[in-house]
């Protein structure tokens, strides 16, 4: 009887991992194998280098084959299946990939497979609108169409809320607040035609109709703006004690209270970021970063795709640490991440669709030696030592 080639063994383990039938000992074996796929630090081919998922898989497979196939040409077809299965594991459904910096194989021996008691779905569209007269509107349960209000026309259309001047509009500023809880996002069209996308756990305070020669809003959390051009009325975004002044432009502001840096990323046009006596004028593809101690710096060649990925339905990570990853999970899946001790010094690169269930991300953690227990009933992700 022919002795199975090692790569056939790993094909079996890959399938078991996908099926959820892999044992702890087999998980160790499979993780050790993954650690030796490549000689370099990571296997990370951006999806932007391929026209579709199939081409992306082929690109990754080609890189794997360049390392492994010359030594076992007789089994190239078998290995192709193995590599495809492994890539399928890493892509978790061939829709995304997440790669971690490798750690020494000796650490793999402590693997404890993650436990998933039940699943948690990703976030969706929705928000809470507080009108100037105190009326609260839960958009999640509000049907499409007009929302009754005397001083402005308000129309809800799926993920978008639009304000336009009503027949009873006057010259008095009436402030409304749109808030997204965890696991919600919402698009808003202001009365001047500017578009705003709110990320999870964020808010924007805005007038029903802009009055006078200024346009001003206030935000918390994260928001992406496409500001309608109006040279006569500059547009200002207030965030904490800082201000971002524009005429017409596309930019993203990330200012969560539990993050260490307030980031403003410019895609188009020009903005000026000001905090106390410090200010920076940004050009496209630049980013301002304000630290907790008010140190303001300019990043010349910012990763624009990463900054606005959430608005485009993805979570893009580039050299992100565990704390950053966990914050994103908490906001988008409405869970609390718990862990004891110090977090491992690990960085992550890749992209994940925001439609992925949390269990899929936990599986990716698992194969990369970050093990957790997902308790959907208590909305907790408990990271195991």
What's the pLDDT score for residue 370? 83
Dist. CA 47–CA 49, nearest whole Å = 5
Output the six-digit token pair for 203.
């808010």
Please answer whether residues 182 and 334 qualify as being in contact, where contact means their C-beta atoms are separated by less than 8 angstroms.
yes
Please answer whether residues 245 and 280 qualify as being in contact, where contact means their C-beta atoms are separated by less than 8 angstroms.
no
For helices 322-333 and 358-367, give the axis angle rounded to 10 degrees: 160
Q: Which residues have C-beta within 8 Å of that of residue 108, sequence separation ≥ 6?
A: 28, 31, 32, 35, 369
Q: How many other β-carbons are positioned within 10 Å of the β-carbon of residue 83? A: 25
Picking from 345, 306, 304, 295, the residue whose alpha carbon sits closest to that of residue 328 is 306
Output the six-digit token pair for 279.
């200010």
Are 6-120+310-383 and 124-309 in the same CATH fold?
no
Mean pLDDT by 10 residues, the chain (385 residues): 55 60 65 50 40 47 44 36 38 39 38 61 94 93 90 91 78 89 97 97 96 94 97 94 93 95 97 94 97 94 93 86 91 93 78 88 80 89 87
Sign, Cα dihedral of 61, 62, 65, 67: negative
The CATH number assigned to the domain with range 124-309 reads 2.60.120.1440
Domain ranges within the chain, ordered by starting residue: 6-120+310-383, 124-309
Please answer whether residues 229 and 214 qualify as being in contact, where contact means their C-beta atoms are separated by less than 8 angstroms.
no
Task: Determine how β-strand 184-189 pairs with β-strand 195-198.
Answer: antiparallel
Dist. CA 11–CA 187, nearest whole Å = 44
On whether the 6-120+310-383 domain is CATH 3.40.50.12370, my answer is no
Half-sphere exposure of 336 (CA within 13 A, CB side): 5
What's the pLDDT score for residue 348? 77
Please answer whether residues 21 and 14 qualify as being in contact, where contact means their C-beta atoms are separated by less than 8 angstroms.
no
Q: Using alpha carbons only, what angle is made at residue 191 by residues 190 and 197, rounded to the nearest 5 degrees?
A: 5
Query: Quick check: helix, strand or coil at residue 228?
Result: coil
What's the pLDDT score for residue 151? 76
Please answer whether residues 31 and 369 qualify as being in contact, where contact means their C-beta atoms are separated by less than 8 angstroms.
yes
């Amino acid at each position: 009887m022919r002795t199975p080639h090692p790569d056939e063994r790993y094909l079996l383990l890959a399938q078991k991992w996908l099926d959820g039938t892999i044992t702890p000992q087999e998980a160790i074996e499979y993780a050790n194998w993954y650690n030796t796929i490549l000689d370099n630090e990571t296997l990370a081919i951006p999806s932007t280098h391929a026209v579709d998922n199939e081409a992306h898989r082929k690109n990754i497979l080609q890189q794997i084959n360049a390392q492994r196939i010359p030594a076992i040409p007789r089994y190239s077809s078998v290995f192709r299946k193995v590599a495809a299965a492994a890539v399928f594991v890493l892509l978790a459904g061939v829709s995304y990939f997440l790669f971690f910096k490798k750690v020494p194989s000796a650490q793999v021996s402590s693997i404890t497979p993650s436990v998933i008691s039940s699943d948690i779905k990703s976030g969706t569209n929705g928000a809470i609108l507080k009108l100037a007269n105190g009326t609260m509107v839960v958009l999640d349960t509000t049907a499409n169409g007009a929302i009754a209000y005397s001083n402005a026309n308000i129309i809800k259309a799926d993920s978008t809320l639009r304000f336009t001047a009503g027949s009873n509009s006057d010259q008095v500023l009436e402030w409304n607040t749109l808030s997204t809880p965890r696991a919600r996002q919402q698009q808003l069209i202001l009365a001047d035609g500017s578009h705003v996308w709110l990320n999870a756990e964020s808010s924007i305070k805005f007038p029903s109709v802009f009055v006078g020669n200024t346009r001003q809003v206030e935000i918390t959390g994260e928001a992406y703006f496409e500001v309608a051009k109006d040279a006569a009325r500059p547009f200002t975004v207030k965030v904490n004690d800082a201000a971002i002044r524009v005429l017409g432009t596309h930019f993203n502001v990330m200012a969560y209270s539990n993050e260490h840096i307030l980031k403003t990323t410019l895609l188009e046009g020009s903005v000026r970021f000001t905090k106390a006596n410090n200010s920076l004028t940004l050009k496209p593809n630049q980013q301002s970063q304000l630290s907790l101690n008010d140190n303001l710096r300019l990043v010349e060649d910012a990763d624009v795709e990463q900054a606005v990925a959430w608005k485009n339905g993805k979570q893009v990570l580039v050299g992100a640490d565990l704390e950053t990853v966990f914050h994103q999970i908490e906001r988008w899946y409405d869970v609390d991440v718990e862990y004891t001790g110090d977090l491992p010094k690990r960085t992550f690169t890749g992209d994940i669709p925001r439609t992925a269930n949390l269990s899929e991300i936990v599986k990716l953690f698992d194969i990369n030696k970050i093990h957790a227990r997902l308790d959907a009933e208590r909305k907790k992700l408990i990271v195991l030592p």
